[in-house]
Structure formats: structure tokens, C-alpha cells
A and B are shown apart, each in its own frame.
Chain A
Amino acid sequence: MIGRRTFGLAAALAAGLAATSALAADPVRIAFIDPLSGPFAAVGTSGLRQFQFTADEINKAGGVLGGRKLEVIGFDNKVSPAESLIQLKRVIGEGIQFIVQGNSSGVANALIDAVAKHNEREPDKRVLYLNYSAVDPSLTNEKCSYWHFRFDANADMKMNALTDVIANNKKMTSIYVIGQDYSFGKAVAEAAVRDLGLKRPDIKIVGNELHPIGKVKDFSPYIAKIKASGAQAVITGNWGADMLGLAKAANDAGLDIPFYTYYAAGNGITKAIGAGGVGKVRLVGEGPGNGPSNAANLDILKRYKKKWPDEDWTQPRTLTTLHMLANAINKAKSTEPAKVAAALEGMTYTAPWGDIDTMRASDHQLQMPVRIFVHTNKGLETDLDNSGFGLVTESTVSAHAASTPTTCKMQRP
């Protein structure tokens, strides 16, 4: 009886030892929970590739914790909050400690809650949620969580920069706001109305429209409506297939007015806008765009293009996210999410293109320079969609100026 128990104990110990030693050599797995099928598959797939590209680079340079590699694994959530929670369970079940997600703030709102609850219930199996693109301001304000970090400027920061440009145009008198009918689209519309009301109360909002996300087949009716409203410019937060459809319909109808956008580039959108949008389509974002930039950045763009000739390096924030995570793991000397989160707070990172970003501890919103780009075919170092068109920086808002205050009351564990 005793002999058997001792044997069992020894076997368990041996197994435990084996597990620990395997763990040290195991890659640090990062779950990428985003759409890999359906209307937004193109955006999701390209995001996954950009993450995996950066992971490869970090691994080539030695990985983290003295030799462990980073591995980014895709989990398809079909941009559905419900599906994302199922994927999150899978991720937790597989013992993955880090998740990255970006497409849809609706999903982000579900994940931020689920992760916080899970971490409270099972403190020894915590996960850390790195948000690279869901920009609903509430995620770092009233809904902020210690386990969530955002590596993209939020919708308010971006709108602040966009409306500065619009406000400087003295001839502008009327604007049409159109967006997808969910938390992010509503946040953009709210920010646009609020910021324009403060900066240029004389500008009329002649339309404030929300359309179903990912369900509109033909945007022509919306374009006809914009045209009929007599608007002089359009503000839209549309992304993926919804941005592509809007740009296509605008081009077809010859709608010849400026578009102020969040995501009107790459994944076929730049090509669809083409010559019709030169000097008219503007985009608020991060990174250097298609120029001018430095050699280090050009090198990344070119190597990415070599690997994926049909795609472009469109989301520099994926690089920032992964490098800051790697730095935090090294600083914490652990992959334990609580320790990594503590290391991330207040961390500063200098991107290859020269931007200096800081993770604000009070709300976990990255403080970063925001740029306004213009769609053009002149002054490009590289292009998008192999179309000869791309984005050139028109103005830069410094990290300090782009910063917006937060109402977050961070609950620390």
C-alpha cells in the first residue's frame, strides 16, 4: 500500500519536473482572437500575418527570457462577441497567457469583462488582454481594466486630430457622419459631433448615419443620400468590407468631396479609391505610412512585401504591441500575466520609425503620436495594394498633444 503511494508520488514528481523543464523551452504562446472568416476575414488574416511577422523577427533576435520563442496562434471569432468568448475559453483551456485582439470594439467590450472575471476567479491561470486596434474610448475610461492594455490611439484621440484638420479649413460649412452601427461607430459619431461643436460650431452636421456592420451589399443608396444632403465632406470610421464598399460606391457615383477616415487604406481599399481619392481621402493613424520614413522602417515594409507580395504592412501597432510585450516579459523575468502587466505600466518604447510611445499606467492607454495621412500617388516610398497609391503624412500630432484625459479608476489586484 505504502509502496504504491510512494511510487505514485515519485511518478507525479517526475511528471511535474518534466512539465517544468518542457515549459522553459516552450514557446510563449499568444492567442490572436480576430475574424479569420466572413466579411472581415481579409483584415483579420492580414493582422495575424503582421503579428507573426514581428514574432519571427523577435525570435530571430533571440526571443524572450533568454531563448524562448514567441508564437502567435490564430483563433477565428467571426467578429462575434459570443464566438470570441468561446475562443477565450479554448485559449484559457490550452494554458495560453496572452491574447491579442483588435477588430471590433463590440468584441473588445465582451473580452475585457470576461478576462477580468476569469482572472478574479482563477488567479493562478490569469490571462492578459492586449488590444491592438479596438478604439472605443470607454475601454480605457469607464470600462477600464487592469488586465487590458490598448496599443492604438482611441477614437477620441483620433477624432481630436481629424477635427483639427477640418477646423482649419475655413471654407467647410457642412459635414456628413456615417459609420457602422455598433459601439465603435457610435463612439466616432459622438466624438465628431462633440469635437466639431467645440472647434467649429458653425459647421452643420447634415447627416449622422449608422448602417448595419458587415451587412450592406451596396452603398449606393447611402452615397445618394450624402450627395442629396449637400455635405462638403464625410467623416467615417468604417473599416474592412464596409470601407471598401463605401469607397467603391462613392467613386462610381462620382461623389467628389473629401473623406476623413480611420481605416480607408490597404486590404484592397486603397486600390478601390484609386485616382479618384488623391488629395481627398484622409486617414488618421499611427506610424510613418508610405513615407517619408527612415531606413529601418523601409526595411520592414520591404521584407514584409517580400514575404506576402499581395499584402502590405498596414498596422505598425502590431509591431509596437508585440515588442512591448516582449520587453515586459524580459523585464518581469516571467510570463506570469500579473508581473507582465506591472512591467508594462509606464513602459516606454521607441519604434523603428522613431516614435516614442508610453503606456500610461492610469488607464493602460498607449500615449503615442497620431498622424494625419493623405491618399496620394506622389512622394511615396512604397505603395499599398500594389496600386501605385499610398498614404503620405500630412501632419503629426505629438503624443502629448494627442493625449486625452481619462475617467478610469483602475482596480489593481
Chain B
Amino acid sequence: MRLWAAVPRPAPSAPARSVLELTVFSLLNGLVYGLLLFMLSSGLTLIFSMMGVLNFAHASFYMLGAYLAYSISTKVGFWPGLLLAPPLVGVVGALVERYGLRHVHRYGHVAELIFTFGVAFLIQESVVLIWGKQTLDYREPAILSFPLFSLWGTDFPAYKAFMLAISIGIFIALFAVLTRSRVGLIIQAAITHPNQVAMLGHNVPMVFTGVFGVGSALAGLAGVIAGPVLTTFPGMAAVLGSIVFVVIVVGGLGSLAGAFIASLLIGLLQTFAVAVDYSLKDLFAALGIQTSRASALSDLYSVTVAQIGPILPYLLLVLILIFRPTGLLGKREV
């Protein structure tokens, strides 16, 4: 506490209250964002652990979900969109695996990587071709567009609570299916011992197609529920594309629980970083070290945590790769 006391700050009217307010809302916003990341990365990490393919088109399926849901919602409303768009995206994903990726598979991982990269471009351009470059007016349903509660005058939208509920529901369902059901057992077995599973009479390629489809559908679902909040526009895949890779590497490749923890970690990290206005200069000042504006590094010193917020996940990625290459809960090295 005393450490920061020396730092002159523009004093807000009620500092203690506003710090609490900021903490609570950062926590809520971080949870919403983190769980959204989880929905995206869960499919990606499953696909990777099974096929060894880093699917670059994953975020494009997310975008496709939002756009399809928008089109459905303009015709028959938000709820049919929520129900129909993810399976549609799943079918597209399964087709991509069945008629594309499976053929490319025999040429090795590099070919697969380049293939998914191409698919990402294809989806991106198709979306622009069909829906145009304008931002779409994709909105939350009227029934959810009210503030759920209001704390210190700031509203927490009901739709965000709905996003939280869906994400948690998906996590529980995925976990249950993978660990408790027969299908889950086969999938888990196919991840580590595909040949033995095939010997036992299971159709492993079919399992792969299914997992790819479900993974894409999850990305699509993330798009459907994120579209109204994070805006539906042609750049939406690009802004989330790289961060999901960070999530699955930090969480540990192939680990669902790891992806969950990493998603929340990164969500909260990015949200809280925005709230912190301190820079190295403040730290030095608190320690009694004088810094002058003339110093060559003065620009570096005065960069606040809020400003470097967006690169923090990547910094975390580098640290994880150095100190724990398996990721938080992963079993194999990246």
C-alpha cells in the first residue's frame, strides 16, 4: 500500500469505491471474455491433439458462425440463429475435413498447415463477397437487452450473463462427454492410440471428421453469441485469430482443462491490464529513484501497463515456452 502512496495521481472523488467498482467490473468483463476464448480454443485444442493440425481456419469458422446467425436472425429471429448456425458451421467444418484435409493429410503436416491457411483466406473472402465489408447490425434479442443488475451506476447487461451461462454450460457438457461417455472414451483413445482403436473396429477417420465438425461448430457458436457484443464485421476473425493459439499453447496442447484455465487467465490478464495506469516510472518514483525526461529510456519508462496490455498474452506465451514447454496442463512438448 505504502509503495504506491508516493505516486501522485489525479484523485477520483471516492477512491476506495472506484477501485472496488473497477475490480468488480474488470472481473466480470474478464470472465465473459475469457470464457468466450475458451469456446474458441476448446475446439482448436481438441483438433490439434487428435490430428496434430494447427487449424488456422478456426477463427474463420467463428466469423462464419456470426454471419450465418445474423442472416438467420434477420429472417426468423435470434434464437433459431443460435440453434441453426453452429450445426451449419459444423457441417462446413466436417466437409472441409472429409474432402480437403483428409486428402492433404498424406503429404504431411506442412501441407495441412498451408491447407488450413488457405481455407481461412477462402472463408474470409467469401464472407466479404456475400455479406459485404460493412459492419452488420447483428443485435442481441430484445428479451435479453436489459441491464441484469446495476452496481454503482454501471450496468451489467443480461446478454453478457447469458454468454457466461452458455460458455460454462459448454464447458461442463464437453467435459462430461469426453470423460463420461462412450464416444468420449473412443475420442480419447483415438488421440493417443489411433491404430489400436481402428483395430478394435472403430472408424477412426470418421471420429476425426466428427471432432473437426464439433470443434468448428463450437467456434461457430462462439461467433453466434459474440457477434452482437464484439460487432460482426469482416475483421472479426483476424482480431481473435492469434490469441486462441496463445490460449492452447499456454493451456497445454490437447488439454481441455488447460485451455479453460488459460482462457480465463488471459481474459482476466487483458481486462485487468487495461485498468492499471502505472508505469515503470511510477515504480521508480515509489522506490525513490529519480528518472528524468531527458533519459534515453524515458519513453520506455512511461509506458503504462494499460498500454502494453495487448502484448501481455504473448509475453506469457514466451515465458511458458521457456519455462514450461508442455503448457500448464499439457502432457507433451510443443
Binding site for B on A (CB under 8 A): 36-42, 45-46, 181, 204-207, 209-212, 214-218, 220-225, 227-230, 241, 244-245, 248, 252-256, 267-268, 271-272, 310-311, 385
Contact = CB atoms under 8 A, between A and B. Distances in A.
Contacts of B26: 221, 224
A41 B133 contact: yes
A206 B12 contact: yes
Contacts, number: 138
B128 interface: yes
B137 A254 contact: no
Contacts of B147: 254
B10 A204 contact: yes
Contacts of B30: 221
A329 to B, nearest CB: 31
Contacts of B275: 221, 224-225, 228
B239 interface: yes
B210 interface: no
A227 B310 contact: no
A206 B14 CA distance: 13
A222 B133 contact: no
The A interface is mostly helix, strand or loop, or mixed, namely mixed
B231 A248 contact: yes
A43 to B, nearest CB: 9
A223 B157 CA distance: 13
A228 B128 contact: no
A248 B229 contact: yes
Contacts of A271: 137
Nearest to A206: B10
Given A227-B152, A228-B18, A254-B147, 18 more contacts: A39-B235, A39-B238, A41-B128, A45-B133, A204-B10, A207-B277, A212-B310, A216-B310, A218-B33, A220-B25, A220-B29, A221-B30, A225-B22, A229-B18, A253-B154, A268-B134, A268-B231, A271-B137
A318 to B, nearest CB: 17
Contact of A224 (B29, B137, B150): B29
B274 A225 contact: yes
B152 to A, nearest CB: 8
Interface of B: 10, 12-14, 18-19, 21-22, 25-26, 29-30, 32-33, 128, 132-137, 147, 150, 152-157, 159-160, 229-231, 233-235, 238-240, 270-272, 274-275, 277, 306-307, 310
A210 B307 contact: yes
Contact of A252 (B18, B134, B155, B233): B155
A228 B9 CA distance: 14
A233 to B, nearest CB: 15
A280 B306 CA distance: 27
Nearest to A231: B12
A253 B159 CA distance: 11
Given A38-B238, A206-B12, A230-B13, A252 B160 contact: yes
A207 B274 CA distance: 12
Nearest to A212: B310
Nearest to B239: A217
Contacts of A252: 155, 157, 159-160, 229
B22 A228 contact: yes
8 A-B pairs with the lowest CB-CB distances in the bound complex, closest first: A254-B155, A39-B235, A224-B25, A268-B135, A221-B274, A228-B18, A228-B22, A41-B133
A218 B135 CA distance: 15
A267 B14 CA distance: 38
Nearest to B243: A217
Of A205, A206, A241, most buried by chain B (CB within 10 Å of CB) is A241
A228 B10 CA distance: 12
A137 to B, nearest CB: 21
A39 B240 CA distance: 12
Contacts of A40: 235
A41 B234 contact: yes
A245 B230 contact: yes
Contacts of A45: 133-134
A252 B26 CA distance: 14
B23 to A, nearest CB: 9
B288 to A, nearest CB: 26
Contacts of A267: 134-135
A224 B29 CA distance: 9
Contact of B21 (A206, A210, A227, A385): A227
B18 A222 contact: no
13 contacts: A37-B133, A205-B10, A214-B239, A220-B32, A221-B26, A228-B19, A230-B14, A241-B235, A244-B135, A252-B160, A253-B155, A254-B147, A311-B134
